[in-house]
Amino acid sequence: MKPFHPLTMLRSPREKLGGYVILPRLIDKVRLHEKKLLPDDYIPNLLKGFDPETGVFPFDGRFLAFSGIDPEELRKTILESPDDRSVIQWVDRVAAPHTPEEKERWAESLSKSFSEPTPERIAFRTRVFPGLGDILGLQSLGCANSFDLIDYDEGRLSLEDLKGTGGRSLKEARPPFPPFSKEAALRKVRLAEDAWNSRNPDKIALAYTADSQWRNRSEFLSGRSEIVRFLVRKWTKELDYRLIKELWAFEENRISVRFAYEWHDDSGNWFRSCGNENWEFAPNGLMSRRLASINDLPIREEDRKFRWIQDRRPDDHPGLGDLGL
């Protein structure tokens, strides 16, 4: 238990000053440290940047990196300033220039993002938040937004609020999460391909938000129930379905793919369907919007290119480019 009441002495990392998250809390920490009131476990990361040995990047350091401000100059300014207004006036004069939109995007990347639940992150959070992994589950603890964990730990967020609802639900979180790197986007595309090749409508629908919006060819869908019904109809018609997806482009929380799949109808007529999809994701990695355009090409059975046996395409199977598609 912390030796102070966080609601009155430390602000949430989500609170903003001059468009910056983290800064109001950093101000509180510097002032409390000067008065010898800051708890010992808060001190090591105070005004510290990225530590390459441990891989830890404290929030204080993230603010310093984004603003380009010298930590000691900031400490001195905070202690010499009578109020927050004086601090932000100084920050605005010396910080690297950022538009309000850039500040908002940076704030959202911290306050709304989920984490990759790596073993290292799970182990670290298990130490920092003892017992919480037993309540949430280790996967959810690893995924949780860091601001949420801090607000829960300091009493500003209830356990139910921490678990979340709707598009930010920890229970439903599906890594990798936006904003996407190229590696994460490639992994997201392969996971989607694998899921669709399973041809399991109920399982596939769980990768989409409860209110996910689709346009599939000329058909418009809303929500998981409609998605499940659509997929059941799809694979009643499209037999022996085999799919390959390929990353086309990505940015922030959006991914564009091209794809092709082969199938036959109940009369034995074979087709290759080619198209493209635009995807948009919620912060927890679920797809909130899918826009698909598709054309069907009749082919002969001997012209098929997708002939693997199991549902999942083997890792050494050629992709679309390799197959000339």
Query: Terminus-to-terminus CA distance in the chain, angstroms?
Result: 61
Cβ contact 96:67 at 8 Å: yes
In this prediction, residue 51 carries a pLDDT of: 82
- Quick one: tokens of 235? 């694979």
The H-or-E segment that residue 246 falls in is strand 239-251
> What's the 3-state SS for 292-306?
EEEEEEEECHHHCCC
pLDDT in tens, 256-287: 999 999 999 999 999 999 999 999 999 999 99
Work out the percent of the chain whose per-residue pLDDT is above 90.
82
CATH topology of domain 182-303: Nuclear Transport Factor 2; Chain: A, (3.10.450)
- pLDDT at residue 317 greater than cutoff 90: yes
Distance between CA atoms of residues 156 and 15, nearest Å: 12
91 contacts: CB under 8 Å, gap ≥ 6: 18, 20, 23, 67, 69, 74, 77
- β-sheet bridge partners, residue 242: 262
Cβ contact 271:262 at 8 Å: yes
pLDDT in tens, 88-122: 999 999 999 999 999 999 999 999 889 899 999 99
| Integer CA distances (angstroms), 136 to 20, 66, 126, 177, 201, in order | 30, 32, 11, 19, 27
- Quick one: tokens of 190? 């392969």
Cβ contact 261:242 at 8 Å: yes
Mean pLDDT over 44-67 rounds to 89
Task: Show me where the domains of the chain are located.
Answer: 1-111, 113-166, 182-303
- pLDDT at residue 6 greater than cutoff 60: no
Cis (ω within 30 of 0) for the bond into 44? no
Distance between CA atoms of residues 198 and 311, nearest Å: 6
Q: How big is the chain by its Cα radius of gyration, in Å?
A: 25
Q: What average pLDDT does the chain have?
A: 93
Cβ contact 257:277 at 8 Å: yes
